Amino acid sequence: MARITGSYPDDLDLLIEGAVEAGVFSGKSDALREFARDYFDDHDEQRVAAAVALYERETITLGDAARLAGVNRFEMKDILRDHGVELRLGLADEADAEYEAQAAQELDYADANDHEDDESEPE
């Protein structure tokens, strides 16, 4: 888990401290995590923009960008193209390879099987 240091207005600090004392949050870190999650849950465009920026800087893989943006890989490719970001092809590392393998295992082949039945010879 990443650690950050920041500053914010005293009144906000008092509200967070009060919420912790009231049992709303287990600590200030818990409160700040919740605030950040809520922000990105409510602001899809900013979530996507963050994922695009990180991918463009080569900080994250396509799979990570898709996960952070809350879309699948195919949608993420389209989003990156729409933002003028060049796609990096190939696997970045072992973790990316594992993600690809897991995604392939989860594919639904029901439609492909339905078409195979259509092509069988009539009785």
pTM score over 0.85 = no
79 close to 66: Cβ distance less than 8 angstroms = no
Stretch 69-98: mean pLDDT: 86
pLDDT in tens, 22-55: 999 999 999 999 999 999 999 999 999 999 999 9
Non-local CB neighbours of 61 within 8 Å, separated by 6+ positions? 55, 92, 93, 95, 96, 99
Instruction: Find the mean pLDDT for residues 5-13.
Output: 90
User: Would you place residue 21 in the very low, low, confident or very high pLDDT band (cuts 50, 70, 90)?
Assistant: very high
- Rounded to an integer, what distance in angstroms lies between the CA atom of residue 54 and that of residue 30? 25
pLDDT at 117: 53
What is the gyration radius of the CA atoms in the chain, in angstroms? Answer: 22
Mean pLDDT: which of 46-55, 88-97, 111-120 is highest?
46-55
pLDDT tier, 90 (very low <50, low <70, confident <90, very high otherwise): low
Does 110 have pLDDT greater than 90?
A: no
Of 115, 68, 59, 118, the closest CA to residue 92 belongs to 59
